Structure 1
Amino acid sequence: MTPAKAPHLSSYTGENAAIYCRISQANDDGQTGVDRQERICRETAARLGLNIENAHVYIDNNRSAWKRNRKRPGWDSLLEAMCEGGIT
């Protein structure tokens, strides 16, 4: 059985996408790490021809992904936007 081929990157051109940035531990709530993540993601999205609206940039600064019961509002908002169909 042959594995399914992934879609060619050009098939995503023009799609509405989102960016999610998260740093587990940030000293003094600094934004440097998530700002760098966002910049790299925007560069990648531009190279792929994806549309990124400012409203679809979600950030959870100083939020662990491994702590049970830890709220990550950016992640929750990203999932909600995906369910509503505004991004793929």
Structure 2
Amino acid sequence: MVQRKIPMRKDIVTGEMKPKKELVRVVKNKQNEVSIDPTGKKAGRGAYIFLDVAIAKLAKKKRTFDKAFGLKIADEFYDELIAYVDHQVERAKLFGNEK
């Protein structure tokens, strides 16, 4: 059986390389709209964050995505990101990592 290569991406908050499946992609499109990309396939500039609520809260505190995308991003986006990460973490506990 051939060992498949695991795609790695850098967590924008901690700077650590992690497997892509353990991260969530945040994307900025051409209209400068920032959104969470659960599929990982939306068009635009992407940045990744580890699926950990503490890291998502740190991203809000440091305004990490503001710096990464060069935009002023509303607090509501960070709150949505924290809720999404929390949901994904709880879902993984219930169902395991079946992605």
Q: For the pair shown, which has the larger CA radius of gyration, 1 or 2?
A: 1
Which structure has the higher relative contact order (CA within 8 Å, separation 6+)? 1
With normalisation by structure 1, the TM-score equals: 0.32
